[in-house]
Structure 1
Amino acid sequence: MIRLSERNDNIEMITGDPKKAIIKLSIPMMLSMLLIMLYNIADSIWVAGIGAEALAALGFITPLFMVLVGLGGGIGAGANSLIARNIGAKDFDQANNAGLHAIVLCIIISVVFTVLMLLFLPMLLELMGAGDSIGYALDYGYIIFAALFIFVYSGVASAIFRSEGDMKRATIAIAVTAVMNIVLDPIFIYVLNMGIVGAAWATVLSATLSCLVMSYWIWGKKDLFLDLSPKNFSFQGKIMIDELQVAIPSTLENIIFSVLAIIINGMLVAASGTTAVAVYTASMRIVQMAMIPLIGMGTAVLTVAGVAYGARNYENLKTSHSYSIKLGFALSIALGALMYIFSHQIAAVFSYTSASASLAPEIATAISILSLFVLAVPHGMMSAMVFQGVGKGIYSLIITLLRSLILEGVFAYVFCFVFGWGVIGVYSGVLLGCFVGGTVGYIWAKIFIKRFGENLHH
């Protein structure tokens, strides 16, 4: 049982020194994000052994899956932001109610999107150009999307723990999912000879286990700082709207990333065939892994900025923005260097069977170029997360829209087709678009925080 003092320590931490809070919240978050990526990579590595078509199928399902998991992340971000602001304002009844509203939203949204995905999956895959890999993609996709509630609820429940500074248990829940998936994948795919269907079932069963663990902590042990007993629920349209003001833009951001992935896949197919998609899928998995510390830090900034904003504390809000960016750049330099130096060794991991051996040199080239991507991210990402924390999800969405869909998409197209640089042009465009868009977001966040401070003094 968690002691009351330990729960209050969490609250003191998120309402205290923002630098300490960001580091204390970031480290477990980075660990849990690392575990999520490890199990994504484990999926790719085990599925790669089935052949290039199966790996490409994963490449086509992943953007759709990320959108829908992003629904859970989006509702979680909305709840995290609102709960943190209420804790900052010392309104604990509203904090409880915000958590309960998030769970209700999670149920409604899961049901709607499960039905939509099961109806329209074949059509979506056709539109995405899945071609020969569509059979594999449907086998995998139907199982994953039928269990959508599990993934959405998992995102919401872990956000509730994070919002009160309880990173330890949010991390344990994700660790359970990751470790189980890494263990079950090879058993289901190869030992039970289930192929790509086995990979899907391994993912669903692993996520279910972590949901059961979190539900037990919330309603069985009842030892959170928040009290999520149904008696504390009183429907308020304002809470729904407030959470959706962060949840919808946050989810749309995931849709933007997925639409961008689909557009980039299309450009790669046009420039160099479906093999280029397999190469990009593998190398972007590594990029995403290198971005884990930044995403972990961004999630911490969301909570810390939310508490500072709720408490009307200008200095803490300003510090959480500037400090997270400095820390982010320091981490990015180290991670980008590691990716560049070890690009050939990393590529070898994806080409361990005769079916995928020919991809190694191309994956190594992609990783060495995309190692620069990590450097283009911190200032834009931390600015977007501050906006989510203060409940301005739409501002965060505009930054992501400009950075990813508009600038990355346009530059990739121009460099690939207008300048004729081919696949390298696509990679270069993605890098430049990310950096320029992030710079715009950084300037905007600086202005917003300055105005917040001025308004407090008037």
Structure 2
Amino acid sequence: MQEITAGKTARTEDPSSSLDEKTEGIKILHGDPKKAIVKLAIPLIVAMSVQTIYTLVDTFWVSGLGADALAAMGFVFPFFFIQMALTNGLGVGGGAAISRRIGARDKAGADNVAVHTLVIMLLIGTVFTLLSLSFLEDIFILSGAGRTAPLAVAYSKVIFGGSIIVFFANVGNAIIRSEGDSKRAMQAMIIGSVLNIVLDPVFIYTLGMGIAGAALATLLSFGLSCALMLYWFFVRKDSYVSFDFRGFKPDMGITLDIFRVGVPASVQQVTTAMMMLIINLIIVTVSSTDGVAVYSTGWRVVTIAIAPLVGVSMAVVSVSGAAFGAEDFEKARATHSYAIKLGLTLEAAIAVGTFVLAPWIASVFTRADAAAHIAPDLTAFLKIICIFYPTVSLGMLSSSLFQGAGKGLNALAANLLRTLVFTPLFAALFAFTLNMGQTGVWWGLVTGNGLGATVAYTWARYYLNGLLKSESKKTVAVESTA
């Protein structure tokens, strides 16, 4: 059978490869890349849009508790982002490895990767839960939460206490996506999100749980998605990959293949959380905790604005992974080019809509008397930040291409340049050196993200062109010796 390790493919005939044709998602991955991107991306775009809408609804209900509650969520968000970074990173690493084996028509290898991914998920999830619950209050005090620290602790105790649920829901969804089954991935995300939307006001206000109620609603939504994954994988057993833990033996080659993309992907998102912490500190220095409330609330609007792009990026990982597994580099380049065009078009339209509707969006999240005073600043944030929406596609989709190729370090390096160099540098430059204050931080976010995205795109095209030139030289050499 085919075995893919350390980025190389050893090809032998796999008798199970005929099973590929029994699964619609596998046919999609092996077909035309443009059609594959559209077929996989549309359900994921819908799912990500609904999922990010629930984060806005979450913010809407919490805003009724006042600006301190919004600020508390702002201080929790980077740490919640770290939790999500670990789950998404592992999911991307395992999913990309599965997709490459699907491209190489190695079902047994895909099954083995899936089992390894779940075992690793249980270990990491357990360690994260124990560590996160041990240092909560000290962490928030050190991060500058001040009077909002008790609210931040109340929220995070719930959301971090159920980390295993969050881990399995996200990793399971990534496995489903890796085999081209974006419809069920969409179903799991939407059903969980709708439950969260329904439970938020009940737990926060009806049951009087306050900010902890918002966290519990979020955790239960992940729990429902988790239950669906368990049912599909272990009861119906109708996914392409199958799970057999009997006689499981850790394989270092498979583990490294998962980590080669998963660890950089996790670190990539963790550095984004670190960037948020740095931005929070800059904001507190030039403004106040109200500025953090503006940033955390506005950034949730950003997440829904780029939700379609996240859906496209998930499709790119699977489609490009299958292309690299088959060593079809022209297909990989076509995948990247088409995805970039699609992303630029979508985000340009969303940017215009955000700019026009900024005052109305701000009013929705500042309806409570205790939060009304931040409405003008939130409007200003939304009008500035939407400028960088189109450029996000250059960076995000290029990172997804690297992940599909198993080149997680490439994606990480480009991301580090954006999150820990460009963005904090320009935020500090505009806020302090140019004395632009809080508004300067927003312009720093736009400039830093834009430059980082451009670097990632340029690198991805250079990488693809290099592969194609190398392949062309090999073809010429073979023909000359024939």
Letter in 1 for 2:463: F
Cα drift, residue 290 of structure 1: 0.5
Which structure has the bigger radius of gyration? Answer: 2
Question: Among residues 289, 310, 331, which one is paired with 1:295 in the alignment?
Answer: 310
1:52 is displaced (CA, Å) by 1.2
> Which sits farther off after the overlay, 209-218 or 233-242?
233-242
* Cα shift at 1:231: 4.2
Alignment equivalent of 2:367, drawn from 323, 330, 352: 352
The residue number in structure 2 matching 1:411 is 426
Structure 2 residue aligned with 1:369: 384
Does the alignment pair 1:203 with 2:218? yes
Amino acid of the structure 2 residue aligned with 1:408: T
Q: Runs of 5+ in structure 2 lacking a partner?
A: 1-18, 475-482
Structure 2 residue 342 is the aligned partner of structure 1 residue 327? yes
What is the TM-score when the length of structure 1 is the normalising length? Answer: 0.97
Matched, 1:444 2:444: no
- What secondary structure does 1:351 align onto? coil
Query: TM-score normalized by structure 2?
Result: 0.92
Contact kept in structure 2, 1:96 and 1:226, CA below 8 Å:
yes
1:6 to 1:346, Cα distance in 2 relative to 1, 3 A: farther
Separation in 2 of the partners of 1:260 and 1:96?
Answer: 36
Conserved 8 A contact 1:312-1:456: no
**Alignment-derived partner of residue 23 in structure 1:** 38
What SS is found at the alignment partner of 1:353? Answer: coil
Query: What residue number does 1:432 align with?
Result: 447
Paired amino acid for 2:253: K
Corresponding residue SS for 1:382: helix
Q: Which residue of 2 aligns with 1:245?
A: 260
Tell me the residue number matched to 2:62. 47
**SS of residue paired to 2:135:** helix
| Matched length | 455
CA distance in 1 between counterparts of 2:20 and 2:37 reads 21
Partner residue, 1:191 = 206
Q: For the Cα contact (< 8 Å) 1:52–1:355, is it kept in 2? A: yes
Farther-moved stretch of structure 1 (278-287 vs 388-397): 278-287
TM-aligned CA distance change 1:6 to 1:359, over 3 Å: farther
Aligned to 2:184: 169
The verdict on how the C-alpha distance between 1:228 and 1:258 changes in structure 2, with shifts beyond 3 A counting, is same
- Partner of 1:228, secondary structure, is coil
CA contact (8 A) 2:20 2:27 kept: no
Aligned equivalents of 2:78, 2:131: Cα separation in 1: 16
Q: What amino acid maps onto 1:57 in structure 2? A: A
Distance 1:254 1:31 in 2: 22
Q: CA deviation at 1:232?
A: 8.2
**1:456: Cα distance to partner?**
2.5
- AA paired with 1:147? G
CA distance in 2, matches of 1:402, 1:331: 25
Does structure 1 residue 152 correspond to structure 2 residue 152?
no
The equivalent residue for 2:88 is 73
C-alpha separation between the residues in 1 aligned to 2:111 and 2:458? 35
* Partner AA of 1:173 in structure 2: A
- Deviation for aligned residue 1:8: 2.2
1:254 aligns with 2:269: yes
Asked if structure 1 preserves the Cα contact closer than 8 Å seen for 2:391 and 2:453, the reply is yes
Distance in 2, matches of 1:357 and 1:433, equals 30
The separation in 1 between residues aligned to 2:201 and 2:247, in whole angstroms, is 44
Percentage of pairs with the same residue: 40
Q: Label 1:193 to 1:6 Cα distance change in 2 as closer, same or farther (>3 A).
A: farther
Alpha-carbon distance, 1:332 to partner: 1.3
Label 1:412 to 1:152 Cα distance change in 2 as closer, same or farther (>3 A). same
Q: Alpha-carbon deviation of 1:250?
A: 0.7
Amino acid aligned to 2:427:
A
Q: Please say if residues 415 and 428 of structure 1, whose CA atoms lie closer than 8 Å, have aligned partners that are also in contact.
A: yes
Q: What CA distance in whole angstroms lies between the structure 2 residues aligned with 1:7 and 1:335?
A: 38
Counterpart in 2 of 1:96? 111
Q: What SS does the corresponding residue of 2:87 show, helix, strand or coil?
A: helix
In structure 1, the gaps of 5 or more residues are none
Q: What is the letter of the counterpart of residue 445 of structure 1?
A: A
Alignment partner of 1:42: what SS? helix
The whole-number CA distance in structure 2 between the counterparts of 1:351 and 1:379 is 33
Taking the aligned partners of 2:388 and 2:190, their CA distance within structure 1 comes to: 27
Offset at residue 429 of structure 1 (A): 1.2
- Note if contact 2:313-2:397 (Cα within 8 Å) is conserved in structure 1: yes
Of the structure 1 ranges 37-46 and 389-398, higher mean CA displacement relative to structure 2 is found in: 37-46
The whole-number CA distance in structure 2 between the counterparts of 1:269 and 1:167 is 41
For 1:229, the equivalent position in structure 2 comes to 244
> Which residue of 2 is the match for residue 264 of structure 1?
279
1:108-147 paired onto structure 2 within 5 Å: 108-147=123-162
Q: Does 1:421 align with 2:436?
A: yes
Root mean square deviation, CA, Å: 1.3
1:287-337 per-residue CA deviation (whole Å, 9 max, x = no partner) reads 111011111111111111100000010111110111111111111110000
Tell me the SS of whatever aligns to 2:209. coil
> Residue 233 and residue 454 in structure 1: after superposition, are their counterparts in 2 closer, same or farther (change >3 A)?
farther
What is the Cα deviation at residue 266 of structure 1?
A: 1.0
In the alignment, is residue 306 of structure 1 matched against residue 321 of structure 2?
yes
CA contact (8 A) 2:20 2:105 kept: no
Question: Given the alignment, which residue of 399, 402, 405 partners 1:390?
Answer: 405
Aligned counterpart in structure 2 of residue 273 of structure 1, from 284, 288, 305: 288
